[in-house]
Amino acid sequence: GVSNLADEADDEDFPEGDEHPGDGYTLYEEYRGFSEDRDHVRLIPLRKELFIRNEIEDGRVVAEIVKFKTASSLGVHYRLRDDEITPVGLMNVNHGHAYSGHPQSGIVLKLRPEETGYSQAVGAIGALGNSTPGSKLRVEIDPAGPGWGLDLNTGQELYHTALASVAHEIAHCCSVWHHGDCDPKKRVWLLNPLDNQNYESAPESISDLVPIQPIDERGGPVTIPDFPGSLDVHLAVPQGQHSGDVNCFMHYRAATALRRDTSTTRVKLDPLNPPPRSIFCRSAQATGYNVAPRNLFGNAHAPERGNCAGQICVNDKYTDDEKHDRKYNCP
């Protein structure tokens, strides 16, 4: 019960997340309520809550928001109209009695006007990489298909675009980080006609060549087209973005090649064929193709990463808290 709590109380502990209490709204504000799609809604004082202004008029996006709501256990209000939240996401501008003492933001979800190949939670100036809603200005979802609308293709190369990235990017606004960093990502493999050797390069710097020995997952040879042909790959590493639980919303699934160590060996991957993302993982433990028999990317980079459910925090009181700074140096 909450009958013995002060009007200023903001100490909900469900879902537990990163153990920071509250959701940024005081008991008084939660009972006073908010406007959502012109309806007066009161919040549940024993549950952490999150507001989302969804500016993408596509019912499939709503379905992805609901997936986030289910997986996170947060109370998520996603039917806000444009005048029920400020353009930069502030929710408690009309504060007075029993004010929390800090601005509290929701999330503004927008469709990017032009395709760039990735979606993004756009950070506020000076904010930590991924923290509470106030650390982000907005979420931009990439229009993966031609013209307006969303491409339903959630295959490997389009993981970061359109529908597949909605829950992932919302989570970045709730203090959740990737399973790891340091994936080189886009690379080009080519056969140098001068020495008949295989090389790897970044797409934008084809002159910066690194010798490689490409094999497939069974150890067999990989044929690279004769110059000027080449092979485009998405290169990943163990404990990087593709590591950990493959069912988690924060898990990447774009890799087509693997660099296991500092040697010249590169592994051209078979299709990942990942399962649908449906959870926020609760440990760094690998699953799916990250365990035997394929053993591709291993566990998430603990202790900084993995246990995504245990990273969730929506209270802007803790936007700058060091617990939310999960950066680490790549080897």
DSSP letters of 202-252? -TT-TTS-EE-EEEETTS-B-PPPPTT--EEEEEE-TTSTT-S-TTBTT--
Kindly indicate the confidence band of residue 160, based on its pLDDT and cuts at 50, 70 and 90. Answer: very low
pLDDT attached to residue 165: 86
Buried b (16+ CB within 10 A) or exposed e, 123-146: bbeebbbbbbbbbbbbbbbbbbee
- Cβ atoms of 176 and 296 closer than 8 Å: no
End-to-end CA distance of the chain: 50
Predicted confidence (pLDDT) per residue in 122-155, tens digit:
888 888 889 999 999 999 988 764 333 334 333 3
pLDDT band at 66 (very low <50, low <70, confident <90, very high): very high
Please report the DSSP string for 115-136 in residue order: --S--EEEEPTT--SS-SGGGE
| Residue 144, pLDDT score | 63
Rounded distance between C-alpha atoms, residue 255 and residue 246, angstroms: 13
Claim to verify: residue 169 and residue 255 sit in the same structural domain: no
In a domain, 166, yes or no: yes
Cis peptide preceding 331, ω within 30 of 0: no
Q: Residue 132 and residue 89: Cα distance in Å, rounded?
A: 12
Rounded alpha-carbon distances, angstroms, from residue 182 to 118, 124, 301 = 17, 23, 10
- In this prediction the pTM is 0.90
Q: Is the predicted pLDDT of residue 1 greater than 80, yes or no?
A: no
Same structural domain, 214 and 146: no
| Spatial separation of the C-alpha atoms in residues 3 and 177, rounded to whole Å | 36
170 plus 317 within the same structural domain: yes
Q: How many domains does the chain contain in total?
A: 2
Q: Same structural domain for residues 199 and 169?
A: no
* Residue range(s) defining the domain that contains residue 269: 180-301
| 67, 187: one domain | no
Q: Are residues 222 and 266 in the same domain?
A: yes
Same domain, 69 and 159: yes
pLDDT tier for residue 300 given thresholds of 50, 70 and 90: very high
Residue 18 located in a structural domain? no
> Is residue 48 domain-shared with residue 34, that is, in the same domain?
yes
Mean pLDDT, residues 48-70 taken together: 93
| Same-domain check for residues 113 and 139 | yes
Mean pLDDT computed over 8-19: 95
Is 48 domain-assigned?
yes
Mean pLDDT of 88-115: 85
CA–CA gap between residue 248 and residue 309 (Å, rounded) = 10
**Whether 101 and 184 share a structural domain:** no
pLDDT in tens, 242-268: 999 999 999 999 999 999 999 999 999
8 falls within a domain: no
In the predicted structure, residue 181 carries a pLDDT above the cut 50: yes
The answer to whether residue 189 is domain-embedded is yes
- Do residue 46 and residue 194 come from a single domain? no
